[in-house]
């Protein structure tokens, strides 16, 4: 029993187009992540700077109030603190001001004065903690705290010393001031949300911009892949029928069912047809990819058309050429010859009714800065179902490959002109090839 093996294809294998699209998605994600990292770093710096700023502002205000209150403290003859002047001249209830005095050591602090009805009620432990921090550091200290109701406050502790104290003397006490931090914290929280939302919006915008830019970056690659896929499809589509015909003819010849002379004649005809197909496919691929370089030179368009018609209609098929005047253009002779030959050949094949001979008329003329080649037949006309896409591949509407008109249209556009189709005067089709008299535009 014979085992037929099929090539294994991994389920994760991707087509070239899919890989390019995946690359675009990765570029978009990388662009968004890079922007996100930068924006998050800037946002964190802005939020942190704002948090430092509002705390410094509160600390400066409390430092000014506490130093002013410190100037009102006095010491009696026994070296004890006298708070009379302070209590008589300063309201210590709002913002609350606490006076802690040292007993045996600097860290043994007792509250000597506390406001009776402060506007901000703070736990004694919080006041004690702020005072001890200032004493141990031997420097003014500030910290965040909470009231007994849970509201945020800022506490500032300032140690003070006896008059004429030496440099290594221990503090005599500590003044602790309390400030309401609800409004600054609310502003800071609002800024945080605004910055966060702005960062999220900018990241989304960055992702969108990255998606657009990556799309423009990979678009040439996708176009190349599309052209390659179109070429392969064209080649497979156009060569399948003649290849099958050659195989059938060879099998018939091997069985001896056909005369050898007839086999050779049909083989030659099929080979010539395949050569024409391959030549047309390659020309179209070069035109679509932009690799076909125009060999522009001054060209007598009327003479070229007459030569093409003479070669195309060599079998006695009626083709009339009318050249109103000598028409000179700057164009690629080979490409223009192929375009004209395709139009004339298309008219000879499809431009007649069943059982009737083809009647084709070719007119060469000039309209100002534009030279025209008009190919008109007396056939059944343009099929309505293909009139809108007549110059696309595989859209001839008559069972042919449809490459001839497509190539002619590409040649016209490559020279800065155009190709149009319209009903003819005799009921058939009329194709007008337009080329600039001054040659193609600069690339």
Q: Over the stretch 256-280, which tens digit does the pLDDT of each residue have?
A: 766 777 777 777 777 776 776 677 6
In this prediction, residue 48 has a pLDDT band, given cuts at 50, 70 and 90, of: very high
Q: What is the SS3 assignment for 425? A: coil
Phi, psi values for residue 25, rounded to 5°: -65, -40
- Rounded CA gap, 441 and 84, in Å? 99
- Rounded CA gap, 141 and 121, in Å? 20
> What pLDDT, on the 0 to 100 scale, is given for residue 146?
93
Provide the phi-psi class of 400: left if phi over 0, else alpha when psi is between -120 and 50, else beta: beta
pTM of the model: 0.54
Provide the b/e sequence for 343-371 (b: ≥16 CB within 10 Å).
bbbbbbebbbeeeeebbbbbbbbbeeebb
Q: What is the largest CA-CA distance in the chain?
A: 145
> What pLDDT, on the 0 to 100 scale, is given for residue 75?
76
- The mean per-residue pLDDT over the stretch 94-110 comes to 85
Among the listed residues 361, 377, 356, the one whose alpha carbon sits nearest the alpha carbon of residue 426? 377
> What pLDDT, on the 0 to 100 scale, is given for residue 326?
84
> What pLDDT, on the 0 to 100 scale, is given for residue 423?
85
- Listed in order, strand segments (DSSP E) in 272-334 are 297-300, 319-323, 328-331
> What pLDDT, on the 0 to 100 scale, is given for residue 313?
62
95 prior amide bond cis, ω within 30: yes
- Rounded CA gap, 171 and 138, in Å? 8
- Rounded CA gap, 436 and 33, in Å? 51
> What pLDDT, on the 0 to 100 scale, is given for residue 398?
45
- The mean per-residue pLDDT over the stretch 115-129 comes to 90
In this prediction, residue 237 has a pLDDT band, given cuts at 50, 70 and 90, of: low
In this prediction, residue 8 has a pLDDT band, given cuts at 50, 70 and 90, of: very low
pLDDT higher than threshold 80 for residue 399: no
Asked which of 123-137, 202-216, 272-286 is least confident by mean pLDDT, the reply is 272-286
Residue with more model confidence, 251 or 234: 251
pLDDT higher than threshold 70 for residue 7: no
Report the half-sphere exposure of 139 (CA within 13 A, side-chain side).
2
Distances (CA, A) of 312 to 179, 320, 360, 402: 101, 12, 12, 18
- The mean per-residue pLDDT over the stretch 125-154 comes to 90
Residue with more model confidence, 386 or 156: 156
> What pLDDT, on the 0 to 100 scale, is given for residue 184?
93
Distances (CA, A) of 106 to 32, 112, 332: 57, 14, 102
> What pLDDT, on the 0 to 100 scale, is given for residue 249?
75
Count how many residues are written for the chain. Answer: 443
> What pLDDT, on the 0 to 100 scale, is given for residue 292?
60
pLDDT higher than threshold 50 for residue 365: yes
> What pLDDT, on the 0 to 100 scale, is given for residue 314?
53
In this prediction, residue 248 has a pLDDT band, given cuts at 50, 70 and 90, of: confident
Q: Tell me if 414 sits within 8 A of 366, measured CB to CB.
A: no
> What pLDDT, on the 0 to 100 scale, is given for residue 318?
76
């Amino acid at each position: 029993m014979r085992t037929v093996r099929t090539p294994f294809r991994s389920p994760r294998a991707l087509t070239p187009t899919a890989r390019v699209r995946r690359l675009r998605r990765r570029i978009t994600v990388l662009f968004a992540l890079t922007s996100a990292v930068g924006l998050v770093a800037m946002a964190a710096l802005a939020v942190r700077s704002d948090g430092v700023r509002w705390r410094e502002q509160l600390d400066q205000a409390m430092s000014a109030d506490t130093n002013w209150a410190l100037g009102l403290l006095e010491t009696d003859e026994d070296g004890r603190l006298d708070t009379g002047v302070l209590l008589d001249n300063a309201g210590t209830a709002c913002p609350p001001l606490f006076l802690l005095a040292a007993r045996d050591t600097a860290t043994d602090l007792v509250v000597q004065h506390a406001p009776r009805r402060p506007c901000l009620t703070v736990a004694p432990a919080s006041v004690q903690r702020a005072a001890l921090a200032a004493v141990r550091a031997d420097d003014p200290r500030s910290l965040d705290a909470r009231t007994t109701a849970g509201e945020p406050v800022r506490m500032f502790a300032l140690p003070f010393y006896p008059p004429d104290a030496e440099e290594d003397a221990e503090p005599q006490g500590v003044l602790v001031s309390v400030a309401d931090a609800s409004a600054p914290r609310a502003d800071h929280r609002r800024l945080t949300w605004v910055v966060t939302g702005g960062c999220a919006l900018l990241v989304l915008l960055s992702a969108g911009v990255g998606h657009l830019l990556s799309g423009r970056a990979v678009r040439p690659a996708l176009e190349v892949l599309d052209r390659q896929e179109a070429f392969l499809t064209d080649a497979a589509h156009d060569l399948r029928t003649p290849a099958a015909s050659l195989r059938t003819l060879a099998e018939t010849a091997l069985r001896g069912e056909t005369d050898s002379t007839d086999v050779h004649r049909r083989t030659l005809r099929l080979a010539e047809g395949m050569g024409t197909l391959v030549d047309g496919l390659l020309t179209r691929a070069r035109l679509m990819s932009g690799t076909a370089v125009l060999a522009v030179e001054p060209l007598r368009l009327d003479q070229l058309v007459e030569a093409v018609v003479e070669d195309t209609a060599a079998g006695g098929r009626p083709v009339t050429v009318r050249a109103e005047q000598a028409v000179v253009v700057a164009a690629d002779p080979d490409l223009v010859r192929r375009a004209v030959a395709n139009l004339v050949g298309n008219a000879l094949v499809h431009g007649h009714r069943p059982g009737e001979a083809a009647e084709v008329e070719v007119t060469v003329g000039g309209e100002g800065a534009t030279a025209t080649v008009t190919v008109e037949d007396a056939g059944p006309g343009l099929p309505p179902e293909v009139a809108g896409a007549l110059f696309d591949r595989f859209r001839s509407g008559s069972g042919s490959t449809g490459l001839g008109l497509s190539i002619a249209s590409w040649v016209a556009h490559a020279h800065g002109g155009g190709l149009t189709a319209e009903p003819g005067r005799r009921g058939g089709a009329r194709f007008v090839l337009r080329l600039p008299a001054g040659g193609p535009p600069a690339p």
